[in-house]
Chain A
């Protein structure tokens, strides 16, 4: 999903290492599809997938949802709706 990201995964990790909190407002964690490709390929075994999830949860646990369920397209397959609610709503 890197094509859609504003910050690439390696840039996100660098900001996290530096403690730069603006990373939480990037588009990247929300485009991330949790495909695990980054973590599996990383030569240093950094669990990037888990870090992306943590960045999402920082917002979600403050009750700031990423999508409004009422506005989501109707007639999606159940699996799309369930996974979207799991990742984009708190």
Chain B
């Protein structure tokens, strides 16, 4: 990926948490804010935000499902930001695809702006970015801040929504390398495994858990067979499906051996020596 100087000269960027970062994935948010501060970037939560209404709806005729994401982008714009960063992969995917729609589909935006008559019109001027895109350009700074090099073998698991569809991919969509380079910069040893961009089962966990159990078994076993001692991920749902479901995988597959699962900001915090 070409480095693009994604932040310009800004050192404070608008941050959109999303519901899960405030509940199940609190540690993701806390470590992210701390490690980015060490790197000189302030993640400033926007004052008002709404559930982005994942997953991006592929129906082009129903504009109602676009409203939540557009409202969040308007909130960021109102506070004077032109960039919005979000940690959760699913929120990133939803906001980014909605933003692309807002820039390309004039008819839809005309209708959406007319319907939301209590809001200022949105013109697509906010940029949606993911922290890994920022870190992609700061590997040297990351290396300089490492106090306790990680000594384990980490398998970077990207999941789907950071890489697909192609318009929103933060890296090469079949063979991404940004998290591996991050792990190496932190002193760890990165494990590249074939199932790193395979779906974890996502929302099937609500009603069809067998699908998630099977996916979990395949992904973690494959990572382990390639030498991984831990998994690193960026998405709270992948984290839940890979970590919390392990107990049920063990029941279904007695030969299953699990692995610890971390958010990429958690291993950064460990390496930077940041206190909890």
Contacts and interface: CB of A to CB of B under 8 A. Distances in A.
- A–B direct touch, CB within 8 Å, in complex? yes
B222 interface: no
Contacts of A17: none
B51, B202, B215 — most chain A CB neighbours (10 Å): B202
B221 interface: no
Contacts of B65: 86
Given A37-B198, A40-B173, A79 B204 contact: no
B53 A4 contact: no
Given A79-B18, A79-B54, A36 B215 contact: no
Contacts of A12: none
B164 A78 contact: no
B90 A79 contact: yes
A33 B199 contact: yes
B205 interface: yes
| Size range of the chain B interface in the assembly | 35 or more
Nearest to B211: A4
Contacts of B161: 35-36
Contact of A49 (B58, B198, B203, B208): B58
A interface, over-half SS:
helix
Interface residues of A, number: 33
The 4 closest A-B pairs by CB, nearest first: A84-B206, A36-B164, A35-B199, A35-B160
Interface of A: 1, 3-4, 30-31, 33-37, 39-40, 49-50, 53-54, 57, 66-67, 72-73, 76-84, 86-88
23 contacts: A1-B199, A1-B201, A4-B204, A4-B208, A31-B204, A33-B201, A33-B211, A34-B202, A35-B160, A36-B165, A40-B166, A66-B207, A77-B240, A79-B18, A79-B20, A79-B54, A82-B51, A83-B54, A83-B237, A84-B203, A86-B54, A86-B57, A88-B207
